[in-house]
């Protein structure tokens, strides 16, 4: 039986184009900034607090590309390996001048030999998991959806959408350890991110009930590269959705008043050891 069609409101565009429009649309990251500190949100929108781009983020993006968009896209978007040292017959170290000069000439993100091995291991870890492999067997990667949410223009970029019943929205994470992943998910606000995705998706679909399933796939960045699959609970998503909607309502008031509090304006009691 063929899979249901991918909804027409899911579009595709380069990541650079999507991120360039974050000034026009509210994203899950900007909403998370606002929940943490309205002034931080304002600084982000003004370009005064650029996001840090760590080497680990490059590995994560490369893993997403190889796992979700497959090898031809990965090879087109990343330069891999590096120049070979004629004396050893092996690639130069990433910290060497020869590697730096080679990387500068590539015109796209660069992955050293060790980086490529890690990304390949991450892909193998996901493929080895029956549930993750099944949910990624059909669907579309990096789909962009835009819709108004509580009167605010919003945009999301979905890691994966599988239109088959019971599968739905999928977010792929790389993790230091699956043993601590659920705690990390709470710390990093993944439920709020995914509740936002689902609400914007439902808005674009014109669905009143939020009946789209939401899943998390996580794969470890170290041996043996274990992979896990989680279905995010409806009760968790409902609580996160209420938090998001309250934050969006506060955001609209801040925009109207032109005031951006830090959350630490009042005197606090320090009364514990």
Show me where the domains of the chain are located.
Answer: 15-51+128-257, 53-113
- The Cα–Cα gap between 208 and 205 comes to 9
Q: Count CB-CB contacts under 10 A for residue 266.
A: 6
- The Cα–Cα gap between 232 and 122 comes to 22
Q: What is the CA radius of gyration of the chain?
A: 21
SS3 at position 118? helix
Secondary structure element (H or E) that encloses residue 28, with its range? helix 28-36
* Residue with tokens 């032109």, as numbered in its chain: 258
Give the pLDDT of residue 208: 55
Length of the chain: 273
Give the pLDDT of residue 90: 84
The string of pLDDT tens digits covering residues 92-150 is: 888 889 888 888 899 899 998 889 999 999 999 999 999 999 999 999 999 999 999 99
Q: Given CATH 3.90.320.10, say whether it is the number of domain 15-51+128-257.
A: yes
Reply yes or no on whether the pLDDT at 196 is more than 70.
yes
Using a pLDDT cut of 90, give the percent of the chain over it.
Answer: 80
The DSSP code sequence of 98-110 is HHHHHHHHHSS-E
Rounded to two decimals, what is the model's pTM?
0.92
Reply yes or no on whether the pLDDT at 7 is more than 60.
yes
């Amino acid at each position: 039986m063929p899979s249901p069609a991918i909804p027409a409101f899911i579009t595709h565009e380069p990541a650079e184009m999507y991120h360039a429009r974050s000034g026009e649309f509210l994203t899950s990251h900007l909403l998370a900034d606002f929940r943490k500190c309205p002034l931080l949100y304002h600084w982000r929108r003004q370009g005064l607090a650029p996001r840090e781009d760590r080497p680990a983020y490059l590995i994560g993006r490369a893993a997403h590309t190889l796992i979700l968009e497959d090898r031809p896209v990965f090879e087109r978007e990343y330069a891999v390996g590096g120049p070979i040292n004629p004396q050893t017959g092996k690639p130069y170290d990433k910290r060497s001048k020869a590697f730096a000069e080679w990387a500068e000439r590539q015109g796209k993100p660069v992955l050293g030999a060790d980086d490529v091995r890690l990304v390949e291991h991450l892909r193998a870890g996901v493929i080895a998991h029956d549930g993750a492999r099944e949910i990624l067997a059909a669907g579309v990667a990096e789909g962009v959806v835009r819709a108004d949410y509580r009167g605010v223009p919003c945009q999301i970029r979905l890691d994966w959408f599988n239109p088959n019943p019971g599968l739905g929205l999928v977010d792929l994470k790389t993790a230091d350890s699956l043993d601590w992943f659920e705690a990390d998910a709470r710390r990093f606000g993944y439920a709020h991110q995914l509740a936002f995705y689902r609400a914007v998706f439902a808005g674009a679909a014109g669905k009143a009930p939020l009946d789209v399933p939401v899943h998390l796939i996580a794969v470890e960045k170290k041996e043996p590269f274990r992979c896990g699959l989680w279905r995010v609970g409806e009760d968790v998503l409902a609580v996160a959705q209420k938090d998001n909607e309250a934050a969006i309502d506060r955001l609209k008031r801040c925009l109207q008043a032109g005031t951006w509090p830090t959350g630490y304006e009042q005197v606090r009691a320090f009364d514990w050891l």
